[in-house]
Structure 1
Amino acid sequence: MVLKIGDARSMYRKFKPHLLMVLIQLGYTFLNFITEASFNEGLNPYVYITYRHAVSGFVMLPFAYFLERRIRPKLTWPLFVELFILSLLGVGFTLNAYFASLRYTSPTVVASMVNVISSLTFIIAIPLGMEKLDLKNPRGMAKVIGTLASLAGVTLMTLYKGKSFRSIWSAPIHMGSSSIHENWLKGSILGVASCITWSMWYVMQAYTLERYPAQLSLTTWMSLIGGAQSAVFTVCVEHKPAAWIIGFNIKLWSILYGGIVCSGLIIFIQLWCTKEKGPVFVTMFNPLSTIMVAILAYFVLGEGLYMGSILGGIIIIIGLYLVLWGKENDEEEVPMRSS
């Protein structure tokens, strides 16, 4: 019995990052819909980003200050500049572009675009030496094929619909029609731009964590600095004071959820997974959000589920498995080299 408990604990430690990344994608899935609903009610996406990270920064601040006061490195000017750039890549520019694209398109389209982040991160990580690529090794080939398969699955879900499977019951939640999906091309361009800078952010996280390993403090700094960057940008583009007024409604709940859960808890967990497994591992789970969005839209919102989404989802899962199988070999080789 003791051995069985020991084996269970060993399995939990081994797959803890995998489980956490699945939960993170579930959190991001709900984020897509709650922000869509708040934007439909008139919430400005730039105001949303500013408030969201202000909430995150002030909620995380006491935890970071007291829990990491002994391990937090001294903040120097070069390190502050690095944190400023990291915040700009992860919040100031990227999230403003991302949620603006959500405003002009739809949750399904945006969730599909985000999946190119894994491929972009993989490409960036190889020349930087953060990811090994041995095409002569079966597991090395698996990483490449898995990455391409995930990208193909996302493309299939985005471009091909096929037969529609309508929900057999009435939708419990109605989002309502939106009048803000006014520029599909503009939204797509903003989405692609955010994916590029998002990939750079994931890679830079790994470098910053080596010099600033206090993950709670790093999360707090990114929220506070990114929120300030977003505030400056918002003041420049949004000249209506009424846009900053938030009532006790879906707008407030969207900001609280985005700030406390997504910009706070999820980013903290994501930093831990990046430190343990690397940026490519973290981004390879992004396609799961696309599948979850499609499933949630079908069962909760009553939207149609298409054959393209089903086939694409299967291909994405296969691709994710291939990449994780290939990366498992990387981790097994580390102790062999050090011995």
Structure 2
Amino acid sequence: MEQNIFDLLSTYRKFKPHMLMVLIHLCYTFGYFIIEASFNHGMSPHVFVTYRYFVGGVVIFPFAYFFERNVRPKLTFALFLEIFVLSLMGVCLAVNMCFASMKYTSPTFVAAMLNTIASITFIIAVPLRYEVLDFQHPRGIAKILGTLISLSGVMIMTLYKGPTMRNFYGPLIHIQGKNGAIHKNLLIGSILSISSCVTWSIWYIMQASIMKRYAAPLSLTTWVTLVGAAQSAVFTMIVEHNLSSWRIGLNIHLWSILYGGIVVAGLIIYIQLWCIEKKGPVFVTVFNPLSTILVAILAYFVFGEKLYLGSIIGAVIVIVGLYFLLWGKEGDQEVQTNTKYKWTCSSIVDPECKMQPIASVKKEEVQIQVV
């Protein structure tokens, strides 16, 4: 009996990161639909982004204050300007465009598009020398092929609609609200979605730079969410002239804001950081397509959403390309963790003798999925 309990605990510890990553993407999946339901009932995407990131910043603030008070660098004016630009790219622009695109497409389409962020980031990082092209190594070729395959999948999703996949069962849950004008323009939705992915890719690269000078991820996340919420509020006041759109009652709007702020911006970030610490960033990114699969299944079988053949083919191609890219990136992680050293002299008895790395490899930055 005791041996069985010990085996169960050992198995649980071994697969705990895997179970937590599945839980994360279940939370993301549910989040897509509660957000879409809120939009369908008249919630402005820009008001939602403002409230959500304000709630997220308030939730993360106490953890950042207590856990990083001894390691948090001093915030200078120049550093604050960088955080301002980082918030503008990662919250005000990227997230607003992402959620606005959901009004013209669907959660399935948006979830599939988000898988292209890794490929777009790779394209932008190469000329900035954050990534190196190696045509003589299989993993280097895999990164290039993965990028091209992912982008071809995006082109198929955008330009080819195809026949509707027939659903023999009616929707089990109806989320269509009073706003019946959604999902009407795939082109506009595609442009917004691709633009948000490009902006997020630039945001990730900027993170790599600012984290070197402000190595306090929770504090940085708090600043980015709160500053981004303020920027989004200004943007919303410019584009939303109806003051009633800011009023939130005890309805789906409130629950979507609380869910997005507490669960997505609070709990999920903490779990992701723990998984990254235990298993590394490559392990975390491998699970990203799980959201696409879960969203497609729920959208089709539970909510009765239309699925088009072009979207399914494109999403599969994007995921295949993502895994090619991740396999190539995993080689970078292995080189980083297995850096080889050599002696600088012929004998270790020599007092001037010391170890030096044969090749220095830049530490891979942590990238957290944003929804």
TM-score strictly above 0.5: yes
Output the amino acid matched with 2:146: G
Output the amino acid matched with 2:244: A
* Closer/same/farther in 2, CA of residues 281 and 312 from structure 1, 3 Å limit: farther
For 1:202 and 1:272, how far apart are their aligned partners in 2?
19
For 1:19 and 1:205, how far apart are their aligned partners in 2?
28
The equivalences for 1:315-326 within 5 A come to 315-326=317-328
Encode CA deviations 1:65-119: one digit per residue, 9 max, x unaligned: 1111111111111111111111111111221222122223332333343333222
Equivalent position of 1:180 in the other structure: 181
Q: How far did residue 173 of structure 1 move?
A: 1.1
Encode CA deviations 1:136-181: one digit per residue, 9 max, x unaligned: 1111111222232333344445555656554444432112264232
Output the amino acid matched with 1:257: Y
Output the amino acid matched with 2:137: N
* Larger of the two Rg values belongs to structure: 2
Would the aligned equivalents of 2:119 and 2:146 in 1 still touch at CA under 8 Å? no
Equivalent position of 1:104 in the other structure: 104
The equivalences for 1:93-242 within 5 A come to 93-157=93-157, 159-160=159-160, 165-176=165-176, 178-181=179-182, 183-242=185-244
Equivalent position of 1:55 in the other structure: 55
Would the aligned equivalents of 2:167 and 2:304 in 1 still touch at CA under 8 Å? yes
* Closer/same/farther in 2, CA of residues 322 and 19 from structure 1, 3 Å limit: farther
Encode CA deviations 1:55-74: one digit per residue, 9 max, x unaligned: 11111111111111111111
Would the aligned equivalents of 1:132 and 1:330 in 2 still touch at CA under 8 Å? no
Structure 2, gaps ≥5 residues long: 342-371
Q: How far did residue 206 of structure 1 move?
A: 1.9
* Closer/same/farther in 2, CA of residues 301 and 220 from structure 1, 3 Å limit: same
Output the amino acid matched with 1:152: S
RMSD after superposition: 3.3
Output the amino acid matched with 2:97: A
For 1:21 and 1:143, how far apart are their aligned partners in 2?
24
Percent of pairs with identical residues: 58
For 1:77 and 1:210, how far apart are their aligned partners in 2?
16
Output the amino acid matched with 1:49: V
Output the amino acid matched with 2:200: W
Encode CA deviations 1:183-229: one digit per residue, 9 max, x unaligned: 55443333232222111011111222222221211111111100011
2:33 pairs with 1:28: no
What's the TM-score, normalizing by structure 1? 0.83
Would the aligned equivalents of 1:287 and 1:316 in 2 still touch at CA under 8 Å? no
Quick check: which one's helix share is greater?
1
Equivalent position of 1:264 in the other structure: 266
Equivalent position of 1:45 in the other structure: 45
Q: How far did residue 233 of structure 1 move?
A: 1.2
Structure 1, gaps ≥5 residues long: none
Would the aligned equivalents of 2:116 and 2:322 in 1 still touch at CA under 8 Å? no
For 1:62 and 1:150, how far apart are their aligned partners in 2?
39
What is the DSSP-based 3-state SS (H/G/I as helix, E as strand, rest coil) of the residue aligned with 2:293? helix
What's the TM-score, normalizing by structure 2? 0.77
Equivalent position of 1:332 in the other structure: 334
